[in-house]
Amino acid sequence: MSKHPSSERTLVIIKPDGIQRSLIGEIISRYERIGLKLTAVKMLVPTADMIERHYTLDPEWRMKTGLKSIKGYTDKGLKPPSTDPLKVTEKILKVLVKYMTSGPVVAMIWQGAHAVQIVRKITGGTEPLTSDVGTIRGDYVLDSYSMSDADGRAIRNVIHASGSVNEAEDEIKHWFKENEINNYKIVSEQIIYNSDLDGILE
Ligand code: ADP
Ligand code: MG
């Protein structure tokens, strides 16, 4: 039997700048208020190895991220630092490790229907300059590819969120042990998922 959609899970990391900007509560409340369920949470300072492995769990990540960054430049009529996506990503990975190991992060698992897509929608696009208004990255960050490049650093966008269901499951295994994950019910799930809505009226 296939799993109910409400069991979909995604990994979210509040990056070191999110912690420094005192956005932990705000970010958690954004995912909580839409109806997702927090099933695991911890604060830690990641090692360089953890970050490098995290970003390369998906063998396609280097190519996809390089292409997306190049498009970010060309869409604005700017010249990308290189036309080779893999060269672009090699630089990104280096600065990303520095960024993500600079201080504590909060790693979380959020569960619910379409968890991956819903969290990406609320989080917003990678480059805060062009992330939609109303998204977390769009509302709380003003960074851009051109500024992060000029300063030789990673884009500071306060959050990591898994990009696909497969990526999410791999990343969850990378960050959490099975016994750190809480399987439990919250009462709001009755209203969100129960097909009958029995028991409201007295
Ligand atoms: P997302 O986090 O939106 O899934 P990616 O997986 O493509 O984005 O990239 C991972 C992270 O690497 C981004 O969140 C950002 O912090 C950083 N990053 C991506 N592209 C660039 C770039 N061109 N320059 C600097 N940092 C980048
Ligand atoms: Mg990604």
pLDDT in tens, 169-196: 999 999 999 999 999 999 999 999 988 8
| Whether 51 and 134 share a structural domain | no
Ligand nearest the Cα of residue 81 is 1
Report pLDDT for 18: 98
User: Which spans in the chain are helix H?
Assistant: 16-20, 24-33, 48-55, 61-74, 85-100, 115-123, 136-140, 145-150, 165-175, 188-193
Whether residue 164 is found in the same domain as residue 145: yes
CA distance 176 to 179: 8
Distance 51 CA to ligand 1 centre (A): 13
CB atoms within 10 A of CB 45: 12
- Is the pLDDT at 137 greater than 80? The verdict is yes
Which residue, 102, 121, 141, sits at the end of a domain? Answer: 102
**Sheet arrangement for strand 37-44:** 37-44, 105-111, 9-14, 159-161
pLDDT at position 198 over 90: no
123 alpha carbon to ligand 1 midpoint, in Å? 13
User: Which range among 42-51, 66-75, 169-178, 191-200 shows the weakest confidence by mean pLDDT?
Assistant: 191-200
Q: Are residues 116 and 83 in the same domain?
A: no
pLDDT surpassing 90 at residue 63: yes
Nearest atom (ligand 1) to Cα of 99: 16
| Boundary residue ending a domain (65, 80, 102) | 102
1 pLDDT exceeds 90? no
**Residue list, CB under 5 A from ion ligand 2:** 163
Is 122 in the same domain as 52? no
25 — pLDDT class (breaks 50, 70, 90): very high
Question: Is the domain of 41 the same as that of 52?
Answer: no
Q: Give the closest ligand to the alpha carbon of residue 160.
A: 1
Pairwise CA distance, residues 32 & 40, whole Å:
13
pTM of the model as a whole? 0.95
Furthest CA-CA distance within the chain: 66
Which positions are catalytic?
Answer: 160
Give, rounded to a whole angstrom, the gap between the first and last alpha carbons of the chain.
Answer: 35
Same domain, 119 and 180: yes
- Domain count within the chain: 2
Measured from the CA of 88, which atom of ligand 1 is nearest? 23
Mean pLDDT across 8-29: 98
pLDDT at 142: 97
Nearest CA to ligand 1 atom 6: 65
Domain final residue pick, 61, 84, 102: 102
* Domain around 164: 1-45+106-197
- What integer pLDDT is reported at residue 90 of this predicted model? 93
The residues lining ligand 1, judged by C-beta closer than 6 Å to any ligand atom, are: 65, 68-69, 92, 96, 126, 145, 148, 154-155, 157, 160, 163
Predicted pLDDT of residue 75: 93
pLDDT band for 199, please (50, 70, 90 cuts). confident
For residue 15, which of 41, 36, 46 has the smallest C-alpha distance?
46
Can you tell me which atom of ligand 1 is nearest the CA of 68? 7
**Strand partners of residue 108:** 12, 41
Bridge partners (DSSP) of residue 46 are none
77-133 pLDDT, tens digit per residue, is 999 989 999 999 999 999 999 999 999 999 999 999 999 999 999 999 999 999 999
Ligand nearest to the CA of 125: 1
Flag whether 202 is in a domain.
Answer: no
